[in-house]
Structure 1
Amino acid sequence: MTALQTLKTVQGNLTETQGRVSTGLKVQSAKDNAAYYSIAQTMRGDAAVFNAISENLSITGASISVARQGLEEIGNLTKEILERVSFAQADKSVDKALIQKEIVDLIGQIETTRSQATYNGQSLLESDGSATSDLTVVTGVKRETGGLMTTSFVVQTAELDSFITNLKGINVETATNANDLEDALTTVETQIAWAAQYETNFGMAEKRIENQQNFISKLVDKFDTGVGALVDADMNKEAARLSALQVQEQLATQALSIANQAPQSILSLFR
């Protein structure tokens, strides 16, 4: 009985060690260590959430980048309009009708740029006909009583309807005095400053997203390290243990065989 019990114990330990070697885990289920398994599962879940958030940040960041680049181009086109108005103001002999035609063409380019500055069907420069809504960017989660709470920040969208309307209100051809052209210059300069401000806002949002993604990457690495410390097996140790148990199994099998032969040897004495 002792030899049989020893063999069963060795085989049980061998099966457990083989499982650790094949999976690389010392805690494969709650049965192995309920506390460690629960903590590891929570950390795995958090890591998965943060990975999903990081992927979404990539999409959001690309949308903001496209909007920033579109607004940069719109700002450059608006500066060209400023140049045309300045020409009309500085030289009274210029063909104002031609200059106005150029201004109208530049405004058309602005409208085209605005409509094309979309990513994944999302535009931060074009209204859908409803009230302008700001963009909420989810940056992470935090654990509070009752579950997970998201963290976020808001990016204010650049609604260009008024911007374009103000530019369309400029008409150097019909300007009757210097004050009209001065007002036109002021209008264009105001639009340039407005575009520059929103371009800056988008740039800051891009940088914030980039920084947050870097942080999430480091955070997920820490989660993975923490999970590994809780559930990963020491493969060198387990390999050595596996070899030792295989030898023990062979010896226990031989011992059981010898134990089974002993009664037969005793009976032979009575023959």
Structure 2
Amino acid sequence: MSSINTNASAMNALSTLRMINSSLTDTQGRVSSGLKVQSAKDNAAYFSISETMRSDSGMYRAIDESLTLTKNSVSTGRLGAETVVGLAQQFVDRLAFAQQEGVDREKVQAELDGLVAQIDTTIKQSSFNGQSMVDSTTAVTVVTGVTRDGGTFATSTMTITPVDLTAIHTALDGIAIANGDDAATMAAALTAAEAQLANAIEGATSLGVAENSIETQQEFLSSLSDRLDSGIGAMVDADMEEEAARLQSLQVQQQLATQSLSIANQAPQNILSLFR
């Protein structure tokens, strides 16, 4: 039955055109943004997961940058400690030389004083951005990442223990020799100096281990951030080849639906011919 009041064909064609236009708008949005999940209404689960992962990735990159400051402080301290090791070794060598009778120990003492002064200067200069890792033993705690266990969020940390090279400087500065010292006194001075050399070596080693640990963590954070970004992309990025094909298909459907609506709107005109 045909009616001039209700055109069912036109309504169906219009409904089809509206759905096609809606799909075309969504597809154009995905093509222009490159995202298939732009908001929670597109896919609530993927949106929630991707935003959490994006937040974690951002925090990892920020933590990586902050670790660079700590690594530079530790690296500077390690360089200072290694320099002190070299100076302490020279100190021990000069004391070993002075063990023999007939050596002018006053001149050797002057050399030792010069080495102690260099150690003091090295310690004072071994700081980065105002932070020194060679004049204290107070532990430094740095954040190395974040963890999520179910709904629980927490930070992971690393503890770095600085070395007190000032104690080594003080101990070496207290060692004095003079002409006429007996063998026991000279041997005791050499033993004391060698102990401080061992302390300097231990300090340089510990700072080297700490620096390596920070570098390893930074490499891990960098790789982890890349993996998270890749995972986010897999969830929310649009497949551009697929979207391009869908866009062309919808454009054709839109043209056909428009023509179908035009034909349906012309149907009532055919009824007029019955009254002629």
- Taking structure 1 as the reference length, what is the TM-score of the superposition? 0.92
C-alpha distance 188-125 of structure 1, shift in aligned 2 (>3 A):
same
| Cα distance in 2, alignment partners of residues 176 and 200 from structure 1 | 35
Q: What's the counterpart of residue 98 of structure 1?
A: 107
Q: Residues 175 and 111 of structure 1: is their aligned pair in 2 closer, same or farther, counting only changes over 3 Å?
A: farther
Deviations 1:85-120 (A, max 9, x none): 122212x32322221111111111111111111112
The 1:121/1:49 distance shift into structure 2, 3 A limit, reads same
Greater shift in the superposed pair: 101-110 or 172-181: 172-181
Q: What is the correspondence of 1:72-87 to structure 2 with a 5 Å cutoff?
A: 72-87=82-97
Aligned residue-pair number: 266
Per the alignment, do residues 175 and 270 of structure 1 end up closer, same or farther by CA in structure 2, a change over 3 Å counting?
Answer: farther
In the alignment, the residues of structure 2 paired with residue 269 and residue 180 of structure 1 have an alpha-carbon distance, to the nearest angstrom, of 134
2:271 equivalent among 260, 263, 266: 266
Q: Note if 1:134 corresponds to 2:139.
A: yes
> What's 1:124 paired with?
133
Contact conserved, 1:175 with 1:181, CA < 8 A, in 2?
no
Deviation at 1:251, TM superposition (A): 1.5
CA apart distance, 1:268: 5.5
Deviation at 1:183, TM superposition (A): 1.2
The gaps in structure 2 that reach 5 residues or longer are 1-10
**1:223 shift after superposition:** 1.3
The residue aligned with 1:23 is 33
Equivalent residue in structure 1 for 2:123, among 114, 120, 144: 114
Residues in 1 aligned to 2:178 and 2:142: alpha-carbon distance in whole angstroms: 45
| TM-score of the two chains, using structure 2 as the length reference | 0.90
Q: Deviations over 1:187-209 (max 9, x none)?
A: 11011111111111111112212
| 1:33-82 alpha-carbon deviations (Å, 9 max, x no partner) | 11111111111111111111211222211211111111000110111111
CA distance in 1, matches of 2:274, 2:127: 98
Once structures 1 and 2 are overlaid, which stretch shifts more, 220-229 or 100-109?
A: 220-229
Confirm whether residue 88 of structure 1 aligns to residue 98 of structure 2: yes
Opposite residue 223 of structure 1, the aligned amino acid is L
Q: Output the aligned Cα RMSD.
A: 1.8
The residue aligned with 1:196 is 201
Counterpart Cα distance in 1 of 2:23 and 2:62: 40
Q: Report deviation, 1:237.
A: 0.8
Runs of 5+ in structure 1 lacking a partner? none
